[in-house]
């Protein structure tokens, strides 16, 4: 049996479902081990935890299922953080090398990125990611990788992704209460993009829309750089609420109707087709299926209008040659890609998670993109820590030898 520390675990806590994925790294490749998923029965409000005890119950069950299926213990995990409170901004920092140094090493790069990520934020926010955009050596810009270059000053421009501190701390606290150490917290949109994008798409410009139950995370890449991360406070729960309200049916029934008959293109539904909608008295009524889809269309149009506004506000309108990639639990709704293309004026596709070794077919779904992206990030995090240890060891060796 592999050692406990070899496991890579991603935890995706959401208002629709709680997901746990466990994988193992073998010769730089990932192999799927197990997973657990539990529908979330409340405890969230607009993408933020409102009741830790309710969320904890779902989390413990998802972890328990993953452990049982994999015959192992989940001790640490990379955890996703989402919600409308996410945002990003570009920060700058500089580092002057010591008088006896003239070559830029990995520890210098790490230090200047750290300084940039510590740029003043409001007290109610916490940094999730600090992603380098560009470096300058001795004030000569345009350096993608300054390692090994000669110079006395290193500048960095870094995309800093931050979250509301209270929302972040509540997620970390509930994971700790489940007996799991949080290795790192990661923006859910960033994790989803990490899972579903090709390198070429990141280069030519692409928007990733992670369509969850409680919120939507929007991530934009251009020139292989992370250019935007933000949250939108409308998502799957609003579709369910709209259907429940207009059709006067319980929320659980509204969710089933969306899953069975939902389409955001009502003109594709014949006007004489009806569906059975349960009522609150235990009976049911026959309603036009087109009415259901008109409700969904109205909400979907609002969602893509908000997404388009964020893209324009950030200055990326007409620059996304790679189009839009829809992922998350809502992404498979019929007609959504067509409506996205019409609303955003770009091509759109559904983003599926990568097919790692032994991945079961049931996880080949956009709803699992974030959880699998968190596992991929855990692999990247382990590699980064290894390189950092090697860099420090080399520096200490040179110091003592010198």
- Domain extent at residue 145: 87-164
Question: Is 129 a domain residue?
Answer: yes
Element spanning 371, H or E: helix 369-401
Question: Is 156 a domain residue?
Answer: yes
Looking at residue 220, its pLDDT comes to 97
Question: Is 40 a domain residue?
Answer: no
Can you give the CATH number for the domain in which 286 is found?
A: 3.30.420.40
Looking at residue 1, its pLDDT comes to 41
**How many angstroms separate the CA atoms of 9 and 12, rounded?**
10
Question: Is 216 a domain residue?
Answer: no
Of 206, 233, 238, the C-alpha closest to 219 is 206
Answer whether 302's CB lies under 8 Å from 234's CB: yes
Question: Is 142 a domain residue?
Answer: yes
Taking the model in full, what pTM does it have?
0.90
Question: Is 30 a domain residue?
Answer: no
Using the 3D structure, point to which of 146, 164, 182 is the last residue of a domain.
164
Which residue ranges in the chain fall short of pLDDT 70? 1-5, 387-402
> Over the stretch 282-333, which tens digit does the pLDDT of each residue have?
899 999 999 999 999 999 999 999 999 999 999 999 999 999 999 999 999 9
**How many angstroms separate the CA atoms of 44 and 341, rounded?**
31
Q: What are phi and psi of 156, to 5 degrees?
A: -140, 135
Using the 3D structure, point to which of 107, 133, 164 is the last residue of a domain.
164
Looking at residue 400, its pLDDT comes to 54
Question: Is 331 a domain residue?
Answer: no
**Number of folded domains that form the chain:** 2
Question: Is 201 a domain residue?
Answer: no
**Average pLDDT score, the chain:** 91
> Over the stretch 229-268, which tens digit does the pLDDT of each residue have?
999 998 899 999 999 999 999 999 999 999 999 999 999 9
Using the 3D structure, point to which of 251, 286, 301 is the last residue of a domain.
301
Answer whether 155's CB lies under 8 Å from 93's CB: yes
């Amino acid at each position: 049996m592999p050692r406990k520390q070899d496991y890579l675990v991603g935890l995706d806590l959401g208002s629709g479902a709680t997901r746990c994925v466990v994988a193992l790294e073998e010769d730089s490749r990932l192999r799927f081990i197990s997973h657990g998923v539990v529908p979330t029965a409340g405890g969230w409000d607009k993408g933020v935890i409102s009741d830790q005890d309710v969320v904890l119950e779902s989390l413990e069950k998802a972890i328990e299922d993953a452990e049982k299926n994999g015959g192992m213990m989940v001790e640490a995990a990379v955890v996703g953080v989402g919600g409308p409170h996410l945002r990003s901004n570009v920060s700058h920092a500089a580092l002057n090398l010591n008088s006896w140094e003239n070559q830029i090493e990995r520890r210098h790069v790490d230090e200047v990125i750290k300084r940039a990520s510590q740029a003043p934020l409001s007290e109610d926010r916490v940094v999730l990611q600090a992603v380098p955009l560009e470096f300058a050596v001795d004030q000569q810009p345009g350096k993608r990788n300054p390692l090994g270059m000669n110079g006395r000053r290193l500048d960095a421009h870094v995309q800093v992704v931050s979250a509301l501190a209270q929302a972040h701390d509540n997620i970390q606290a509930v994971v700790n209460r489940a007996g799991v150490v949080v290795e790192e917290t990661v923006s859910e949109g960033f994790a989803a993009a990490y899972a579903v994008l090709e390198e070429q798409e990141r280069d030519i410009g692409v928007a990733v829309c992670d369509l969850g139950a409680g919120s939507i995370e929007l991530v934009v890449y251009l020139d292989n750089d992370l250019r935007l991360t933000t949250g939108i406070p409308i998502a799957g729960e609003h579709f369910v609420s709209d259907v429940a309200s207009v059709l006067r049916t319980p929320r659980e029934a509204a969710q089933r109707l969306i899953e069975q008959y939902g389409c955001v293109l009502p003109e594709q539904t014949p006007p004489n087709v009806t569906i059975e909608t349960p009522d609150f008295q235990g009976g049911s009524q026959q309603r036009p299926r087109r009415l259901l889809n008109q409700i969904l269309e109205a909400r979907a149009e609002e969602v893509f209008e908000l997404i388009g506004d964020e893209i324009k506000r950030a200055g990326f309108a007409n620059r996304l040659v790679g189009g839009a990639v829809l992922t998350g639990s809502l992404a498979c709704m019929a007609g959504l890609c067509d409506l996205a293309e019409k609303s955003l004026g770009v091509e759109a596709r559904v983003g599926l998670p990568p097919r790692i070794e032994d991945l079961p077919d049931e996880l080949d779904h956009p709803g699992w993109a974030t959880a699998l992206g968190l596992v991929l990030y855990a692999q990247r995090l382990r590699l980064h820590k290894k390189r950092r240890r090697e860099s420090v060891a080399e520096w200490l060796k040179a110091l003592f030898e010198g």
